[in-house]
Amino acid sequence: MTTTPDWLEIHRGEAPLIVSFPHTGTDLPDDLGERFASQWLARRDADWWVHLLYDFAQQLGATTLRTAISRSVIDVNRDPSGVSLYPGQNTTGLCPLTTFDNEPLYRAGGEPDAAEIERRRATWFDPYHAALDAEIARLRERHPAIVVYDAHSIRSHIPHLFDGELPQFNLGTDSDRSCADALTDAVERICIASGHATVRNGRFKGGWITRHHADPAHGVHSIQMELACRGYMDEPRHVDEGNWPSPWRPERAAALRATLQQVLGACLDFARDAAAVPSPPR
């Protein structure tokens, strides 16, 4: 019998929707914590409070997966081969060496070598994706079509990664390859109707989860939502250890949550409508 590790949180629902939270974790294993230049820096680039922002997903019957491990330890949304998902643009890797602002994450000599990276991959990366594969297979046995929704957020201003202010809603579908256009169109309409800036396959086109697990020809449609943090939490223009992260305040997030409830509802509607269209043999 397979036991779920304590760092991996899985809630199993029966609806044709999986919501993945790969970057909300902040745990630093004891044997690694002192190697970081700062434990605050090692946690700073988390997708703060996103799993709370979407805590209504389980009430919709969605399956949710979340890793408690900080992305600074290993990023489960990166290509495990080390190939950049955004060639020619600044980004961070499988086991990042720098923050989003290009600051060193490790004390001198503390950086992981190839053997250490493989150990982290076997310990955290591979189990996360195995669990996601298992949930996809479980739900595909029940539904002809499902949606894998990868939930993210990031600060609105990070000059090292992008120019200017990031739009509030950033939809990523691997340049319209990871899901049917009808799904992206429906989500995009809801985001635009909210009155907030929205972009489709702009700076963020979907990470490894969206690209790797997508199989729209066989009923698995994946989409990434990258939110600008300002939509649901107080976001100082210049963050420091004294002001970041700002506290979770449900009342501050209420308006954005209402839009996201519509978004997940559209994902469920799409999956149920797509179920009426026969898929090719698996």
Q: What percent of the chain has pLDDT over 90?
A: 89
Query: Is pLDDT of 147 > 60?
Result: yes
Report the run of H or E that residue 19 belongs to, with start and end: strand 17-21
pLDDT at 277 over 70: no
Average pLDDT of the chain? 94
Percentage of the chain modeled with pLDDT above 70: 96
pLDDT higher than threshold 60 for residue 104: yes
CA 190, CA 183: separation in Å to the nearest integer? Answer: 11
Query: 8-274 adopts what CATH topology?
Result: Aminopeptidase (3.40.630)
Q: What is the mean pLDDT of residues 62-76?
A: 98
DSSP character for 27?
A: B
* φ/ψ bin of 193: left (φ > 0), alpha (ψ from -120 to 50), beta (otherwise): alpha
* For residues 160-183, average pLDDT: 97
Contact of 194 with 178, CB cutoff 8 Å: no
CA-wise closest residue to 8 among 51, 60, 54, 56: 51
Sign of CA dihedral 53, 3, 140, 212: positive
Residue 275's pLDDT is what?
Answer: 65
Place of tokens 């501050």: 252
User: Residue 278 pLDDT > 60, yes or no?
Assistant: no
- Mean pLDDT within 175-186: 97
pLDDT of residue 280: 41
What's the pLDDT at 83?
A: 83
pLDDT above 90: residue 281:
no
pLDDT digits (tens, 9 = 90+) for 215-270: 999 999 999 999 999 999 999 989 999 999 999 999 999 999 999 999 999 999 99
Alpha carbon 50 to its chain centroid, in Å, reads 9
CB 94 within 8 A of CB 22: no
**pLDDT given for residue 279 in this prediction:** 44
Residues 63-70: what's their mean pLDDT? Answer: 98
| pLDDT tens per residue, range 1-49 | 468 899 999 999 999 999 999 999 999 999 888 899 999 999 999 999 9
Answer with the residue of higher pLDDT: 277 or 2.
2
What is residue 237's predicted lDDT score, i.e. its pLDDT? 86
Report domain extents, the chain.
8-274
